[in-house]
């Protein structure tokens, strides 16, 4: 998808200038989980009522540590990091996120728990394009966004598996986008603070393979980008990214 030789995403920025043990009971201690991610992304650029879309698949790795998935009543936490990558034609797409969740969990019944999560983290993304337009320009668009986070979770624990459903929003704070064009220099613009909803369904299979617990997660996120400017073009331009993904990992 091109707009005057540049993808809509870049056009927006231009406009803006213990693994071996058998578990007899539910796992309740903090765990580490490491695994792979596969995701499908849809980018939608809207300008003055006109919209354009691009779809892209990505893959990557993740690592989490904490008891948000396994803990019973009381304090819960989880720290995590993930990264994804895709090369398509002359474009490279890179994304990374680090976050920390803190919360309190209460029992609804013997196996049912509800919790409230707050936290924060950092989102980073980059699109690199080579040989753009008639002058074969190299373009690099980088977004950086610290965020605060709030959510609500539900856990169902059994001796064989744990199911967790969490939904909430990440609220970007002081986000910015930097555009670098070969031979033309670079420019940085501020992005408006935005609420970006997310939801994730996770199952931890306690017995797993050879008693090694397996974690599987299906998730959805939406990220909104809009320039913090009063210009007519900025007010009528926005970019939305929606991502659906699957995580599969080993817990230990």
Per-residue pLDDT tens digits for 204-252: 998 777 778 999 999 999 998 888 777 676 666 778 889 999 999 999 9
Containing structural domain, residue 122:
27-167+179-216+233-240
Q: Is residue 188 part of a domain?
A: yes
Q: How confident is the model at residue 185 (pLDDT cuts 50, 70, 90)?
A: confident
Is residue 13 one of the residues assigned to a domain?
Answer: no
Q: Residue 14: in which H helix or E strand, if any?
A: helix 8-16
**Is residue 64 included in any domain, yes or no?**
yes
| pLDDT number for residue 132 | 54
- What H or E segment, with its residue span, contains residue 90? none
Q: CATH number for the domain including 76?
A: 2.40.160
Take residue 227 and report the two structure tokens written for it. Answer: 């320039």
Does residue 221 lie in a domain region? no
**Domain count across the chain:** 1
Contacts of 251 (CB under 8 A, 6+ apart): 19, 27, 31, 32, 33, 204, 208, 212, 213, 214, 215
Q: Is residue 250 part of a domain?
A: no
Instruction: Tell the residue number behind the tokens 């990440």, with chain if given.
Output: 170
Distance spanning both ends of the chain, measured CA to CA: 43
pLDDT digits (tens, 9 = 90+) for 8-51: 444 444 444 333 333 334 567 899 999 999 999 988 877 766 76
Q: Is the residue at 6 inside a domain?
A: no
Residue 16 inside a domain? The answer is no
pTM summary value? 0.82
Q: Is residue 226 part of a domain?
A: no
């Amino acid at each position: 998808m091109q707009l005057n030789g540049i993808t809509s995403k870049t056009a927006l920025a231009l406009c803006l200038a213990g693994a071996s043990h058998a578990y007899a009971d539910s796992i309740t201690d903090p765990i580490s989980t490491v695994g792979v991610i596969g995701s499908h992304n849809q980018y939608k650029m809207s300008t003055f009522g006109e919209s354009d879309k691009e779809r892209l698949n990505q893959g990557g790795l993740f690592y989490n540590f904490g008891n948000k998935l396994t803990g019973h009543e009381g304090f819960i936490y989880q720290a995590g990091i993930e990264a994804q990558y895709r090369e398509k034609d002359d474009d490279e797409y890179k994304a990374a996120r680090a976050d920390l969740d803190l919360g309190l969990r209460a029992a609804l019944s013997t196996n049912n728990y509800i919790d409230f999560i707050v936290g924060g983290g950092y989102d980073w993304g980059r699109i690199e394009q080579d040989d753009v337009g008639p002058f074969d320009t190299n373009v690099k668009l980088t977004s950086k966004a610290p965020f605060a986070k709030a959510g609500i979770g539900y856990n169902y624990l059994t001796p064989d598996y744990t199911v967790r459903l969490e939904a909430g929003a990440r609220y970007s704070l002081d986000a910015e986008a930097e555009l670098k064009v070969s031979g033309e220099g670079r420019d940085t613009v501020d992005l408006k603070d935005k609420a970006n909803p997310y939801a994730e369904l996770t199952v931890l299979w306690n017995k797993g393979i050879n008693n090694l617990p397996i974690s599987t997660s299906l998730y959805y996120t939406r990220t909104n980008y809009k320039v913090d400017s009063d210009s007519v073009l900025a007010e009528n331009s926005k970019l939305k990214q929606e991502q659906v993904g699957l995580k599969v990992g080993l817990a230990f």
